[in-house]
Amino acid sequence: MQGASHLHGLNMADIVEITRAAAHEDQIHARLHAMLAEGIIPPGAKLNERELCAGLETSRTALREAIKRLAVSGLVELLPNRGAIAARLTEREVSGRFEVLAALEGLAGELAAISASEESRNSIGLLHEGLLAAYVRRDLAEYYRLNAEIHAAIIAAAGNPVLVQTYRSVNARVRSLRYRIVPGDAAWHSAMDDHCRMVTALAARDRAGLRNIMTRHLQARCDRILAILDEAGGRREANV
């Protein structure tokens, strides 16, 4: 009843306008979230409100609301007298988040092996075929896109909404880092082999097997990212 009293006195046009404004703010939040998560706005970069308003075709009010929400989720840092910047990640935070992600994906794999529907398994299988084709073509952008879809599909197939929400929250902060990895042939082959094993384990409903593969796969990705961050840190120190 509280919601009804809140709307008391508003006509239908007012309600439609409020709904439209809220939907627009959600859309701006989603688009800005994607720009941060995919590294289009790199860590440490200042969020230029004028440029973003023009690019997103929105008002400063809607943009600022989106930035506030992103600050709560940790993707943006609000600095006194400096505005907002895309949050930086320390190696310790990367390591900690991937430890959690590895545990979450391992659990998701075990649950998905039990509860994934035939439709879900077939869908993941089709995504895997596309991933394999991208690997053969050496199409890294398409490979990363399908890779993310496969992991998200396995998480969803676990059938646990709390797990899905927790995974999205933890993954949001480190999602952009995968775009910084240009794997060598051996690393890429190993990652592709892991995905083949994932699909096989899922089809066989091998709970322990899928859990182990997904955990190991995330740990290997973390090791590669930390190596890149360590190398970048060494270059910065050498240039001081």
pLDDT in tens, 82-111: 788 887 778 888 889 899 999 999 999 999
Select the more confidently predicted residue: 177 or 44.
44
3-state class of 34 per DSSP?
helix
Tokens of 102: 């590895």
Structural domain boundaries in the chain:
10-86, 91-238
For β-strands 76-79 and 83-86, DSSP reports them as antiparallel
Residue 43: pLDDT band with limits 50, 70, 90: confident
DSSP code of 40?
S
CATH topology of domain 10-86: Arc Repressor Mutant, subunit A (1.10.10)
DSSP code of 88?
P
Number of helices (H) and strands (E) in the chain: give both, helices first. 10, 2
pLDDT over 50 (residue 146): yes
Say which CATH superfamily domain 91-238 falls into: GntR ligand-binding domain-like (1.20.120.530)
On whether the pTM is more than 0.95, the answer is: no
Select the more confidently predicted residue: 45 or 7.
45
pLDDT in tens, 153-198: 999 999 999 999 999 888 877 776 765 666 778 888 999 999 999 9
Q: How many Å apart are CA 181 and CA 165, to the nearest integer? A: 25
Nearest one of 207, 196, 224, 188 to 91, comparing CA atoms: 224
